Amino acid sequence: MNPVADKTKIESRLRCIGCGTIIDHADQNFRCGNCGDLFEVFFPSWADEASRKAAGIDAGALKKLWLSRRSSFLPKDTSGVWRFREMLPALNPGQEPITLREGNTPLYELPGCARAAGVDSLLAKHQGMNPTASFKDTGMTTAASFARQEGFRWVACASTGNTSASMAAYAARGGMRSLVLIPEGKISWGKLSQSLDYGAVTCQLRTDFDGCVRVLNEVVKRMPVYLLNSVNPYRLEGQKTAAIELLEQLAWQTPDHIMVPGGNLGNSSALGKALLEMKELGLSARLPKLSVIQAEGANPFVRSIREHGGKTLTPVEADTFATAIRIGNPASWKKALRAIQSTGGTVEQVGEVEIASAKAEIGADGVGCEPASAVTLAGLKRLVKQGFVNSRESVVLILTGHGLKDPEFTLKFHRGDLFTGTRDEKAARVLASQQRAPIVLDANVDSVIRTLQQFDQADSGR
Ligand code: F0G
């Protein structure tokens, strides 16, 4: 593709995933007026080989162009999302994106976790290393930029905490007001504090995430408010770039498996869309299997597939310590279904003790993540045992949120009281060897040295 194509608008349109209706401008609830289903962005010039040729799309040239932007200091080149702008719907000429230099996240090796899971090697793409410490920033930069372009003064979302933190930041950067609806008492303090800091009008509703979504859907019908939940297809376009950046980091060698946590199922949908588009455009030679992992207590997608063959989804009352994915009625389940089916992936669910253990294992490799991200490792362990993942296959975990997002979980885990009074209390005893409670000592040298020696002895006895 011609690098100066930059200044021309990349043609994209919206297509309903249910009835195929094609439009250029969605209603405020981002639902199809005909059938009520969701829209996705599509690029007419990618439709077939002939149109791709006519549009000058050349995989090799794109790879070079994206790499060359790494030596540029322009904001839209230093953003790890807009660097891949040929894969995104374009803003109008003259419009600059709202960017906090999102994306550009590291790919880490996790040797201890690989051993624990029974695979030869294991990589983690850490989307928690984004400006507001979750993957949401990659989608917020695109959708918030479209909100501003359309002239909205208010943006809004319902959230389990990360979307709201991200939206509040991008709204502030873009000079817009933001309205956050979160379930009272069910999100981490760290995430709540972020949305306050970035100046959002933050409403804690006495309901769960799904209840917040219901309220917000009515609000956007009655007020000129731009909806920034992941039903907004421009969010998913930005989130696609995590998969593009991942393949670039792997020198365009596709891994065998990618594991992603599933909540509202926007992220798995976005990653799946990117994988399919990269294959279609010749950027990658094959598809990795994309698998979605849910918490057992918030497993509507797993149940939909296991109990109804993915034909319907029955909402559940969600409950899990991984509050980010405490979601019972995921909006994007049909898109996520297509992502796993077209890549040959699967779904798995994991229990609370498995999640806590996996999070500590990731931590012990020197990489912090929030509980919702750790379902990926817990799920991988199950999929290795079941033989779905072979020990020699290459696997990438998508870590969605930073370890400091939910320090209360981590502290309770290490102090040993995370599961006190829960039905997992007994099962959680297996976690004792992973717990590292802080040690309170008198302020003298001998007691510190004694402690050191005790640990030395324990280590040499292993
Ligand atoms: N991991 C983290 C850390 C999350 O915050 C979320 C979703 C997910 C995984 C699941 O991603 O919804 O695209 O399937 N958090 C949302 C929020 C819902 O409001 O912050 P998903």
pLDDT tens by residue, 112-125: 999 999 999 999 99
pLDDT of residue 205: 98
pLDDT of residue 462: 75
Give whole-number Cα distances, 270 to 37, 230, 233, 238, 294, in Å.
16, 10, 9, 8, 17
| Residues 90-108: tens digit of each pLDDT | 999 999 999 999 999 999 9
Return mean pLDDT, the chain. Answer: 96
Is residue 3 pLDDT above 70, yes or no? Answer: no
Q: What are phi and psi of 199, to 5 degrees?
A: 85, 20
- List 259's β-bridge partners, or say none: 291, 397
Select from 267, 294, 359 the residue to mutate for testing ligand 1; criterion: most ligand atoms less than 8 Å from CB: 267
Select from 292, 400, 402 the residue to mutate for testing ligand 1; criterion: most ligand atoms less than 8 Å from CB: 400
Is residue 8 pLDDT above 90, yes or no? Answer: no
Binding pocket residue ranges, ligand 1, CB within 6 Å: 134, 136, 159-163, 230, 261-268, 324-325, 370, 372-373, 400-401
Contacts 24+ apart (CB under 8 A), 15-22: 15/39, 15/40, 15/42, 17/334, 17/335, 17/338, 18/334
Q: In this structure, is the dihedral angle defined by the CA atoms of residues 71, 72, 75 and 81, taken in order, positive or negative?
A: negative
Instruction: Give the mean pLDDT of 50-74.
Output: 94
pLDDT of residue 461: 82
Contact between 128 and 400 (Cβ < 8 Å)? yes
Contact between 222 and 259 (Cβ < 8 Å)? no
Instruction: Give the mean pLDDT of 26-42.
Output: 96
Instruction: Give the mean pLDDT of 225-242.
Output: 98
| Residues in the chain, total | 462
Say how many Å lie between the CA of residue 326 and the centre of ligand 1: 9
Instruction: Give the mean pLDDT of 58-65.
Output: 97
Q: What are phi and psi of 9, to 5 degrees?
A: -80, 130
Instruction: Report the run of H or E that residue 141 belongs to, with start and end.
Output: helix 136-149
Select from 105, 132, 160, 340 the residue to mutate for testing ligand 1; criterion: most ligand atoms less than 8 Å from CB: 160
Whether the model clears a pTM of 0.75, i.e. scores above it, the answer is yes
Comparing CA positions, the residue from 228, 335, 231 lying closest to residue 290 is: 335
Comparing CA positions, the residue from 366, 358, 397, 375 lying closest to residue 322 is: 375
